[in-house]
Chains A and B, each alone.
Chain A
Amino acid sequence: MNNYKHIGKNFIPPDIYGKVNGKAKYAEDFRADGMVFARMYTSPVAHGRVTDIDTSAIDNMEGVVGILTADDVPSTEAPNAAILTNNPAFIGDPILAVAATDERIAEDALNKIKVKIETLPFAVDPLDSLMEGGPDAREEGNVFSRSREGSGFKKIKWTKKQIEEFRAGKEPTGEHATEWNYGNLEQGFKDAALIIEEPFVTTGYAHMSMEPRTAMAYWQNGTCYVYGSAQSQSFWLPGLARLLGVEQDKVVLISENTGGGFGSKIGAYPAAALPGYFSKKLGRPVQLRITREQEFYIGSARVGFQGWIKLGFAEDGRMTAGDVFIIEDIGPNATGGDGSSAGGAISLLYDPEAMRFRGLPVLTNTTPRGAQRGPGQNQIAAIMAPLMDKAAKALDLDRLEIRKINAVNNETTVYAEQRPVTSAYMKEALQKGADLFDWDTKQQFPQKINAPKVRGLGIGQGYHSAGAKGFDGLIRIAPDGKIHLYSGVGNLGTYSYASTTRAAAEVLKCEWDDCIIHNGRSDKNLPWSSYQAGSVSTYAQTRTNYVAAVDAVDKMKNIAAKIHGGKADDFDIDGRHVHHKTTPSKSSTYAEIAQAAIEFGGTFSGAIYPEDIHDITKRSVQNIAGTGLVGVAKDKLPQNGVIPGLAAAFVEIELDLETGKYEIMDYVGIAECGTVVHPQGLDAQMKGGAVWGMGMAGLERHVFDPQNGLPANIGYHQCKVPSYLDVPSVTRTDAVDLPDPQNPFGARGIGEPAMGCAVAALTSAISDALDGYNFGRTPVSSDMILNYVTGNNQSFKPLQTNNF
């Protein structure tokens, strides 16, 4: 336990009131004078070339104010996503937009526009594209890899025999595009007493954030004001400016609340720039609200995997070698680096003595992919858990024990470069979960319960790197004594924008009631903050708030020394006053110090600021300079190694052998994220992550008809987003709560592992319920279970993806 005043304590985030009284404004809740409404026409074909757009039917249509086509926006080089395109690469690819005085007229107009499209070959399953003679999702090729060394298209084909052998579970022999390794793999397998080798599939699926991504924009004095649905705040600006073709200081992003993102709104996406171009063309504000169906199309989706894995284990359970080959379904825009991240997760979570990752990112004409909560790490977590169970069984080890034997700890080195970790306590997380779940007792329960039900117990582990550095912190103490905390991190619903500012309050020792958070609009003088993604904000933003507050305290002491005489070091703070350590009567309030800062100017008031801060922070400091004491600094705190966010989960299910459905009877999730900063927020992430894991394990998947490229699931019903009744009424969580040495408060992030541990625990439990049978697939739907139980074939080909 620590003795912090704010860190580790619950508080009421200021924006929550707006969420419960309906006043919180999301992008679509904003209106501007003279605003018109845009609607998009999206591609009806999976791959094609627009040859003609006939808009004559709406030329004189009342209420229609304009049309925007790909010719009106900057062209984008394939395979990158365009704002509008004449080369659609999936059903739903935006081709044009119409603006009208109301949405219905805009839709009436869309109905009358005739778009001619020449169709091109398409693929919805990477293996179909990889097959010799198979279709390419892009005219330029079927493979696109992005790397620091260079990105580019390739055309890679495997022979029919190679595809068939891969489908049969053999090691792939076809060409791959990326590779990394460490250790002596051959020796690792030679040393193994047990080798497990299996193919696997994880099907991608849509993010389906609750808020369809609306954007509204207008121009004022050369500046574009964008009301968008953004996961991050400051981090969006460079990308948004680039999309709009303006300098960063000529764009203002208003994103006070965001209705979910889960990785799909990390940086500015093309649709957010569409209203900017449309508004410029029409000379009036334009709002683009998209339909739920369109949110399915352009709202991003998880990368799918088709892979093969081989693991070696020593007699004592230690993993001696890991070899993984992953074909990544990267959609039409070659987005998502999930494969290598999955390899990294194996390296970190199970620490094989030698390892190799081979990847092949294949383009498909399915919806664009992107980061989705634990991109790569969570897919592989689901695949690894039943394999660890299998190994435990073969080696006669307890399933908990084999995970502890291989658990990441402070000494583990990870990834190709075998980097250190900042700290890691997976063994402790597993034990804490086992205790809370009562693993030992539950293991003694019979597997057969009331027929036709069988019990299954599962253990899952999740990982995602959970920190970043180098962003800026900014605070201001006003002459009235109020502490202004500036956060440019975005408001996704994790409340970390607020909880991390408490790091500054902690340093200043002030009361929370005296603090005011500024966030949500880039013209509110926000600093360059971390992205609200990748589980980084807790780690990154406690650091930025810390360094800004330390800078402020230093300035406060210097000012006190100037006022009262002596050296800065002679002074200390108590939350309201800066006082002399030995002569307490030499004391000034924070308010007086702030007033003095204005008078002294220079660095104290923000008139002078560090050169190494980001331009965005510089502009903000310039705006607030002279209005109080400004604490501003770039986070240059030491940081070395991988910052792991870790989680362990335990689950008990009852599976009905007659229906293939299962019920989750108990769920325990344990966070290992260093010091707990915001207990309620952590609990919310752990439980929300568990719901995501439950959706991935059993319900959610992309389904495309390979004959025409049509997606089957464009709405909430068909996407099978879990409801109240598909998850347990109560889930339990806790945290290890051991500090990380490389964060001033010991904190690391957690959002993504919270899901990975859950999906893994479930695939493990399903396998346990079925006497160790491993589907090697997500999701495992009830029909698959029923087909297995009745001895019938599955409906799909081995390794087929994007299917029922």
Chain B
Amino acid sequence: MNVNLTRRRFIKAVIASSAVASQTGCQLGSKDLHAKGSVERLISLDINGKKRRVDVLPQETLASTLRYKLGLTGTKIGCNRGECGACTVLIDGIPNYACSTLSHSVRKRQVQSIEGVANKDGTLHPIQEAFVEELSPQCGFCTPGQIMSAVALLNENPKPSREEARQALSGNICRCGAYDHYLNGVMRASGQSNE
């Protein structure tokens, strides 16, 4: 069961490398800081239309930044490896798994989380309203992610077919099995009948 790391040679994401068991220190202040392309830690992020200055580690995921640095706990961590969809947020309007996105990669982009979905006056987005009316959520843990996928869909396709909605939300697991109710919610929010 010992993972023999030092003897291993592997290739991944285009570059070959030998794994090393020890970790190097933080690169801040190291000479690498001046290498072209290295990142600063204090960065500005555009979250739900607001500029947020935040100290972000190079390896930090967007889910961590949102939840633990910015207190936006509506983005849920269900698996932390891009297999469930509970952490779905929109980046420039496109659904992404926040657990599998580096915060540094969204510096120049607009991030929308569940906290930024309702209207400014606090009234609910049509998707949220429809999910309430259809009793779409059960345990609710996957719901923010479902909503983000649905919001992105309706932004691009205001009157999706049920099949289009099913495909668009398919990267969001619901263990309670509320799929039917979520799709009813999407259809209702887009002004279409569920009959």
Say yes or no: B173 contacts A18, CB within 8 Å.
Answer: no
Instruction: Determine the chain A residues whose CB is within 8 A of the CB of B175 once the complex forms.
Output: 208-210, 260, 262, 721
Say yes or no: A691 contacts B173, CB within 8 Å.
Answer: no
Distance in angstroms between the alpha carbons of A21 and B74 in the assembled complex: 7
Say yes or no: B144 contacts A22, CB within 8 Å.
Answer: yes
Instruction: Tell me, yes or no, whether A673 is within 8 Å of chain B by CB.
Output: no
- Digitize B106-133: 1 where CB-to-A-CB distance is under 8 Å, 0 elsewhere: 0000000111011000001000100110
Task: Identify the closest chain A residue to B144 (Cβ).
Answer: A22
Instruction: Tell me, yes or no, whether A44 is within 8 Å of chain B by CB.
Output: yes
Instruction: Tell me, yes or no, whether A717 is within 8 Å of chain B by CB.
Output: yes
Distance in angstroms between the alpha carbons of A12 and B1 in the assembled complex: 52
Say yes or no: B23 contacts A687, CB within 8 Å.
Answer: no
Chain B interface, number of residues (Cβ within 8 angstroms): 53
Instruction: Determine the chain B residues whose CB is within 8 A of the CB of A22 once the complex forms.
Output: 72-75, 113-115, 117, 144
Instruction: Tell me, yes or no, whether A571 is within 8 Å of chain B by CB.
Output: no
Say yes or no: B137 contacts A688, CB within 8 Å.
Answer: no
Say yes or no: A717 contacts B124, CB within 8 Å.
Answer: no
Say yes or no: B141 contacts A26, CB within 8 Å.
Answer: yes
Instruction: Determine the chain B residues whose CB is within 8 A of the CB of A721 once the complex forms.
Output: 173, 175
Instruction: Tell me, yes or no, whether A684 is within 8 Å of chain B by CB.
Output: yes
Instruction: Determine the chain A residues whose CB is within 8 A of the CB of B163 once the complex forms.
Output: 729
Task: Identify the closest chain A residue to B149 (Cβ).
Answer: A724
Instruction: Tell me, yes or no, whether B81 is within 8 Å of chain A by CB.
Output: yes
Instruction: Determine the chain B residues whose CB is within 8 A of the CB of A28 once the complex forms.
Output: 73, 77
Instruction: Determine the chain A residues whose CB is within 8 A of the CB of B167 once the complex forms.
Output: 724-725
Could you say which of B86, B139, B169, B179 has the most chain A C-beta atoms within 10 Å of its C-beta? Answer: B139
Q: Could you say which of A187-195, A346-354, A491-499, A784-792 contacts chain B? A: A491-499
Chain B binding site: helix, strand, loop or mixed by DSSP?
A: loop
The A-contacting residues of B in range 154-184, CB under 8 angstroms, are 162-163, 166-167, 169-170, 172-181, 183
- Given A22-B74, A717-B83, A687 and B181 touching (CB < 8 A)? yes
- Digitize A475-493: 1 where CB-to-B-CB distance is under 8 Å, 0 elsewhere: 0000000000000000011
- Digitize A22-34: 1 where CB-to-B-CB distance is under 8 Å, 0 elsewhere: 1111101100000
Please pick, from B78, B83, B132, the residue contacting A211 in the complex, using a CB distance under 8 A.
B78
Instruction: Determine the chain A residues whose CB is within 8 A of the CB of B72 once the complex forms.
Output: 22
Instruction: Tell me, yes or no, whether B138 is within 8 Å of chain A by CB.
Output: yes
Task: Identify the closest chain A residue to B78 (Cβ).
Answer: A210
Say yes or no: B79 contacts A716, CB within 8 Å.
Answer: yes
Instruction: Determine the chain B residues whose CB is within 8 A of the CB of A257 once the complex forms.
Output: 139-141
Say yes or no: A259 contacts B183, CB within 8 Å.
Answer: no
Say yes or no: A210 contacts B173, CB within 8 Å.
Answer: yes
Task: Identify the closest chain B residue to A667 (Cβ).
Answer: B180
Instruction: Determine the chain A residues whose CB is within 8 A of the CB of B76 once the complex forms.
Output: 26, 210-211, 259
- Given A210-B142, A492-B139, A725 and B178 touching (CB < 8 A)? no
Say yes or no: A108 contacts B79, CB within 8 Å.
Answer: no
Could you say which of B23, B167, B177 has the most chain A C-beta atoms within 10 Å of its C-beta? Answer: B177
Instruction: Determine the chain B residues whose CB is within 8 A of the CB of A17 once the complex forms.
Output: 124, 132
Instruction: Tell me, yes or no, whether B80 is within 8 Å of chain A by CB.
Output: yes
Distance in angstroms between the alpha carbons of A684 and B183 in the assembled complex: 12
Instruction: Tell me, yes or no, whether A723 is within 8 Å of chain B by CB.
Output: yes
Q: How far is the CB of A206 from chain B (nearest CB, A)?
A: 10
Say yes or no: B141 contacts A44, CB within 8 Å.
Answer: no
Distance in angstroms between the alpha carbons of A552 and B78 in the assembled complex: 43
Say yes or no: B83 contacts A716, CB within 8 Å.
Answer: yes
Say yes or no: A724 contacts B179, CB within 8 Å.
Answer: yes
Distance in angstroms between the alpha carbons of A18 and B144 in the assembled complex: 10
- Given A210-B86, A212-B78, A730 and B180 touching (CB < 8 A)? yes
Distance in angstroms between the alpha carbons of A134 and B73 in the assembled complex: 49
Say yes or no: B118 contacts A21, CB within 8 Å.
Answer: yes
Instruction: Determine the chain A residues whose CB is within 8 A of the CB of B1 once the complex forms.
Output: 44-45
Say yes or no: B138 contacts A688, CB within 8 Å.
Answer: yes
Distance in angstroms between the alpha carbons of A492 and B138 in the assembled complex: 8
Distance in angstroms between the alpha carbons of A257 and B137 in the assembled complex: 12
Task: Identify the closest chain A residue to B80 (Cβ).
Answer: A292
Distance in angstroms between the alpha carbons of A209 and B76 in the assembled complex: 13
- Given A684-B138, A684-B178, A687-B180, A23 and B170 touching (CB < 8 A)? no
Instruction: Determine the chain A residues whose CB is within 8 A of the CB of B137 once the complex forms.
Output: 16, 19-20, 493
Q: How far is the CB of B9 from chain A (nearest CB, A)?
A: 21
Q: How far is the CB of A690 from chain B (nearest CB, A)?
A: 7
Distance in angstroms between the alpha carbons of A492 and B176 in the assembled complex: 10
- Given A19-B143, A493-B138, A729 and B84 touching (CB < 8 A)? no
Instruction: Determine the chain A residues whose CB is within 8 A of the CB of B114 once the complex forms.
Output: 21-22
Q: How far is the CB of A17 from chain B (nearest CB, A)?
A: 7
Distance in angstroms between the alpha carbons of A257 and B143 in the assembled complex: 13
Q: How far is the CB of B137 from chain A (nearest CB, A)?
A: 4
Please pick, from A12, A19, A212, A683, the residue contacting B140 in the complex, using a CB distance under 8 A.
A19
Distance in angstroms between the alpha carbons of A15 and B139 in the assembled complex: 10
Please pick, from A21, A23, A108, A727, the residue contacting B179 in the complex, using a CB distance under 8 A.
A727
Say yes or no: A690 contacts B73, CB within 8 Å.
Answer: no
Task: Identify the closest chain B residue to A716 (Cβ).
Answer: B83
Distance in angstroms between the alpha carbons of A85 and B182 in the assembled complex: 42
Instruction: Tell me, yes or no, whether B135 is within 8 Å of chain A by CB.
Output: yes
Instruction: Determine the chain B residues whose CB is within 8 A of the CB of A688 once the complex forms.
Output: 138, 176-178
**8 interchain pairs (CB within 8 A)?**
A19-B140, A22-B113, A29-B67, A210-B141, A211-B78, A259-B139, A729-B179, A730-B162
The interface of chain A, by Cβ under 8 A from chain B, is 10, 12-13, 15-26, 28-29, 44-45, 108, 208-212, 257-262, 291-292, 492-495, 680-681, 683-684, 687-692, 715-717, 721-725, 727, 729-731
Sample of 13 further A-B pairs with CB below 8 A, known A22-B117, A689-B177: A15-B140, A17-B132, A20-B124, A21-B115, A22-B73, A44-B1, A210-B175, A260-B138, A261-B139, A262-B175, A687-B177, A724-B167, A724-B172
The interface of chain B, by Cβ under 8 A from chain A, is 1, 23, 67, 72-81, 83-84, 86, 113-115, 117-118, 124, 128, 131-132, 134-135, 137-144, 147, 162-163, 166-167, 169-170, 172-181, 183
Q: Which 3 A-B pairs have the closest CB atoms?
A: A22-B74, A691-B177, A259-B141
